Amino acid sequence: MPKLEDEAVQHTTALGPLIGLTREDIFGAVAVLLRETASNPARLMRHGQDMGSEMIKILSGKSDLAPNPKDKRFTDPAWRYNPFMRAGAQYYLAVQKGMAAWLDELELDELERDRARFISTIVIDSLAPTNTLAGNPTAQKRLIDSGGLSLIKGLKNAYQDIVHNKGMVSQVDKRPFKLGENIATSQGAVVLRTEMMELIHYGPTTESVHAIPQLTIPPQINKMYINDLSPEKSVVKYQLDNGIQTFVISWKNPVKDQGHWDMADYVRSCREAIDAVAEITRSKSVNISAGCSGGQTAAVLASQMASDKDVRLGALTLMVCVLHPKQNDIEAGSLISANGLALARKRADKAGIVKGDDLARGFAWLRPNDLIWNYVINNYLLGEDPPAFDVLFWNADATNLSASLMGDFLTLFETLAFTKRGEVEMAGHQIDLSKVKSDLFILGGVTDHITPWKATYRSTQLFGSKDVTYLLSQSGHMQAILNPPGNPKAKYFVRKGSKKLPPTADEWITGAEEVAGSWWPFWMEWLQKRSGNLVPAPVATGNEQYSPLDPAPGRYVMEPC
């Protein structure tokens, strides 16, 4: 996989966009910086003098500032051997160094300092010389070698983004992909369609199947076919090939009039899906798998079913999902405030929905190096097409978020509802995960910056389950899930044979075993043990009550944002 694609996949909005982050919080962080700057003119003067001294060293060729060897922006040899380019890089590095030193001396509390560093990093990254044609030697060489064609193509790419991508730089070439043809190709059918969701039943690929089926609850913020991108990395196909009766919910993309859909509505839809799955398979229990915001939904569902004494919930798998968040878990967490959360609610309520494009745009500007400037250089300065990659195609296929559901997600964040026992009401009951006794499998990713693995580990302490397995994949957010057998670099960490897990992630990792290869076979063995005996595979999808409506992946995934 080319480097740009690999980097992009690690930084998709994926399953956990930042909600509740407002411009007022960002401007507030800037205001604190300006206030502290003005409060001590002598300090500002001293740092100005230090910066001036460094500039003199750069002009005289005596500066020893050099880019970090791991900084991919400065890998071109011209940054080392061309004196003008070297000086340009050193000017930028001097600003970067001076800003860091200045922030270290400001009289800020820990939260204010984190906010200041986050904001300053975004600003400084935007000033990198590599973001311009005049300051990018690789782009200049491409311009000369192509006889100016790279500039023409770059201008064309920029025009296309302004006209067709709402002014945002494209992260993927969508042209090669078509749903149902080379994306989401597993055979199946929609067997239930409601206002909110479609239930897809995938056809078996084995002669016998396990009696207990598996229902996947996807996030409401991305489309369900992340579970079935391609035959090589399809969780759906892997389940089918291992005898698991596989069902997946496909959420409808809400519009303004559907902004009232809340967690109670989504949980009710999940229970409708369980009713259908149980009826079709004649099973008394249904295993559940879910990721990120779908995992939060599954947790509320599990709590509600336990409260209702509904014993149909089988084994529960939660992937890259945080149920016990802390403000410093993510890089932008320091910018989230109570005022920001309240404003986010009001704006969402007024609009009815939070548009998928707005979520993606906001997330991109919080990681501009990875999600904006990388593509500005590739698409505009070098005149290259963005990568044609299935994960990025899925990531760009944005969905809206209903205002009421966003409000419920914010409530879960603010109240730490999953850590309480019967103190927070949602979906018509008091949330209490200690009543959930299902066998539990929880997945985290070592390099996941969206749902950091130590945050996902906290979920192991919330449930009343006696059998809990935590597995840590050597991957980022999306690769933690899409990690099929065959990758020679794949590995994971797990505590085998241990059902009682220690209270903290640091304690867990000291006793974890490193295992080479994909984690899928380990999970599948775990799942099969909890999926009942083998029975003859059904000859068709659905049944008389739930007859097939449309072929997979259904209609709802086709709806644009």
Give the H/E segment covering residue 392. helix 390-396
Q: Residue 317 in 3-state DSSP?
A: strand
* Rounded distance between C-alpha atoms, residue 388 and residue 362, angstroms: 23
How many whole angstroms separate alpha carbon 365 and alpha carbon 13? 11
The phi-psi region of residue 425 (left if phi > 0; otherwise alpha if psi is between -120 and 50; otherwise beta) is: beta
How far is 431 from 302, CA to CA, in rounded Å? 9
Read off the tokens for 197.
């969701």
DSSP collapsed to 3 states, 468-533: EEEEEECCCCCCCCCCCCCCCCCEEEECCCCCCCCCCHHHHHHCCEEEECCCHHHHHHHHHCCCCC
As a whole number of angstroms, the distance between CA 9 and CA 1 comes to 11
Instruction: Read off the tokens for 384.
Output: 């290259």
Q: What are phi and psi of 253, to 5 degrees?
A: -75, 110
Going by C-alpha positions, the residue among 77, 79, 160, 75 that lies closest to residue 375 is 160
Angle at 22 between CA 166 and CA 366, to 5 degrees: 60
C-alpha 121: how far from its chain's center? 21
What tokens does 184 get?
């989401």
- Placement of tokens 């004494």 in the chain: 309
Do 219 and 15 touch, CB atoms closer than 8 A? yes
292 annotated active-site: yes
Asked if 493 contacts 515 with a C-beta cutoff of 8 angstroms, the reply is: yes
Q: Contact, 189 vs 250, CB < 8 A?
A: no
Q: Is 89 within 8 Å of 74 (Cβ atoms)? A: yes
Alpha-carbon torsion angle 188, 193, 197, 200, nearest 10: -10
H/E segment holding residue 191? strand 188-193
Strand partners, 190: 200
Active-site residue, from 270, 292, 321, 561: 292
Angle among Cα 293, 401, 364 to the nearest 5 degrees reads 80
How many Cβ atoms sit within 10 Å of the Cβ of residue 388? 14
Q: Which residues pair with 472 in a beta bridge?
A: 444, 493
Q: Name the residues annotated as catalytic.
A: 292
